[in-house]
Amino acid sequence: MEHVESLDDDRIIRRYMDMILATQRSNYYQLDDQGKPKPWLSLKLRPADIPDIPPPVPFFEIFVYAPDIEGVHLRGGKVARGGLRWSDRQEDFRTEILGLVKAQQVKNTVIVPVGAKGGFVCKRQPQLTGREAILAEGQRCYKRFIRALLDVTDNIVDGTLIPPASVVRHDEDDPYLVVAADKGTATFSDLANAVSEDYGFWLGDAFASGGSNGYDHKKMGITAKGGWESVKRHFRELGINCQETDFTCVGIGDMAGDVFGNGMLLSKHTRLVAAFNHLHIFLDPEPNAATSWKERDRLFNLPRSSWEDYDPSLISEGGGVHSRRSKSIKLTPQVQKLLGTRKQSVPPNELIGMILRMQVDLLWNGGIGTYVKAEVETIPM
């Protein structure tokens, strides 16, 4: 390295060296049933050995790459549990999964020692049309992602630990790998367990929770129902029965999600005036509680729905669905009144800030991200 003259070149080469030295396992030398190299690459990394990696730093990370799929699986420790997400964030899915695993770490403190989370993107999805074609591609990529994870995971056969074939291990024995459902994969657990059985993995159908032998998180709505008990308690302290009286609400998320979707159906008196996720901003200044509930219920049961699927004829005057990629969003008189502003147009992020500061009865955070902080708190960079 002493012969590298450029500081930038030196920094880049050292970073590559750090990544290579942090790699604990790879399936690069494995062959498929036809004796050909597998069409995907799995790299198991120890992130703590990589300088300047954004926190929280996982204990292990498996990176999966193929022409049609990319994904990561992050674990907080050797014994960890968490779901796999079908992400549509092609550019920054790792950032999304890192935020999810941070929350999972907290939630799993009373379940297992630490949390985990995984996610993948279907790189051909933007070129597909039709829900059936997109679903089939998602399932195919999901199974490929599961295979890639198991390629670099130890197995146990008759009580004896068996390392994966054609893999040089630079870490210790590591046979514990489990997955669960998350957004987009709520019905995929049987697919994962079928792959587990095909690999002869020691956990069998305990590898993926959910499926035909387990719980469907979205169908049961356990998380949302628990959170809604707190909502009812808060309203009760204000002298309001939110199950019998209309109230206004702002939401973070969309109806395809488990927590947001279930939560926005738990009272037929919810008047959702605004909501946003990472793709869209939904505005409905004067919603009809009964009509909007029925439409949200339709979206909840529509596979991989988005706010764009909301029937525009059911949105009150001045409302609409806007892309977060827009340069600016025009504010109608009805929306101006709703937000308490005279501005005629604002960028999407500024509009989200206005939504979060609106005078409403309930803020339902069923999405990803932290949007509220105390004045004394700082934002980590």
Whether 361 is in a domain gets the answer yes
Q: What is the mean pLDDT of the chain?
A: 93
- Answer whether residue 109 shows pLDDT above 70: no
The set of catalytic residues is 117
Confidence of residue 68 (pLDDT cuts 50, 70, 90): very high
Asked if residue 200 and residue 273 are part of one domain, the reply reads no
Among 197, 216, 235, the domain boundary falls at: 216
The residue with greater pLDDT, 26 or 303, is 26
Among 201, 216, 231, the domain boundary falls at: 216
CATH number at residue 293: 3.40.50
Q: Determine what percent of the chain is predicted with pLDDT higher than 70.
A: 97
- Between CA 253 and CA 278 the distance in angstroms is 8
Asked if residue 64 and residue 134 are part of one domain, the reply reads yes
The residue with greater pLDDT, 273 or 99, is 273
- Answer whether residue 229 shows pLDDT above 70: yes
Confidence of residue 212 (pLDDT cuts 50, 70, 90): confident
Q: For the chain, where are the E strands, in sequence order?
A: 23-26, 41-45, 60-66, 69-75, 80-81, 83-86, 114-122, 155-157, 160-162, 180-181, 247-252, 270-276, 280-283, 320-323, 329-330, 345-346, 362-365
Which residue, 304, 308, 305, 253, is CA-closest to 138? Answer: 304
Asked if residue 62 and residue 45 are part of one domain, the reply reads yes
Asked if residue 86 and residue 233 are part of one domain, the reply reads no
Confidence of residue 358 (pLDDT cuts 50, 70, 90): very high
Asked if residue 273 and residue 202 are part of one domain, the reply reads no
pLDDT tens readout for residues 242-263: 999 999 999 999 999 889 999 9
Whether 349 is in a domain gets the answer yes
> What is the domain range of residue 309?
221-365
Asked if residue 228 and residue 210 are part of one domain, the reply reads no
- Answer whether residue 223 shows pLDDT above 90: no
Among 175, 196, 216, the domain boundary falls at: 216
Whether 375 is in a domain gets the answer no
Whether 269 is in a domain gets the answer yes
Of 53-57, 315-319, 348-352, the one with minimum mean pLDDT is 53-57
Whether 380 is in a domain gets the answer no
pLDDT tens readout for residues 5-21: 899 999 999 999 999 99
Q: Determine what percent of the chain is predicted with pLDDT higher than 90.
A: 76
Asked if residue 83 and residue 176 are part of one domain, the reply reads yes
- Between CA 57 and CA 81 the distance in angstroms is 16
Average pLDDT rounded to a whole number, residues 159-188: 93
**Lookup: tokens for 97:** 């999964």
Average pLDDT rounded to a whole number, residues 353-366: 96
Asked if residue 186 and residue 146 are part of one domain, the reply reads yes
The residue with greater pLDDT, 107 or 309, is 309
Number of domains in the chain: 2
Whether 239 is in a domain gets the answer yes
> What global pTM score does this model have?
0.74
Asked if residue 266 and residue 211 are part of one domain, the reply reads no
Asked if residue 255 and residue 207 are part of one domain, the reply reads no
CB 192 within 8 A of CB 206: no
Q: Say what the pLDDT of residue 111 is.
A: 64
pLDDT tens readout for residues 268-322: 999 999 999 988 999 999 999 999 999 999 999 998 799 999 999 999 999 999 9
Asked if residue 152 and residue 270 are part of one domain, the reply reads no
Asked if residue 207 and residue 71 are part of one domain, the reply reads yes
Q: Residue 29 gets which letter from DSSP?
A: T
- Between CA 140 and CA 191 the distance in angstroms is 9
Average pLDDT rounded to a whole number, residues 65-83: 94
The residue with greater pLDDT, 2 or 359, is 359
Confidence of residue 210 (pLDDT cuts 50, 70, 90): confident
Q: Say what the pLDDT of residue 174 is.
A: 97
Confidence of residue 128 (pLDDT cuts 50, 70, 90): confident
Confidence of residue 184 (pLDDT cuts 50, 70, 90): confident
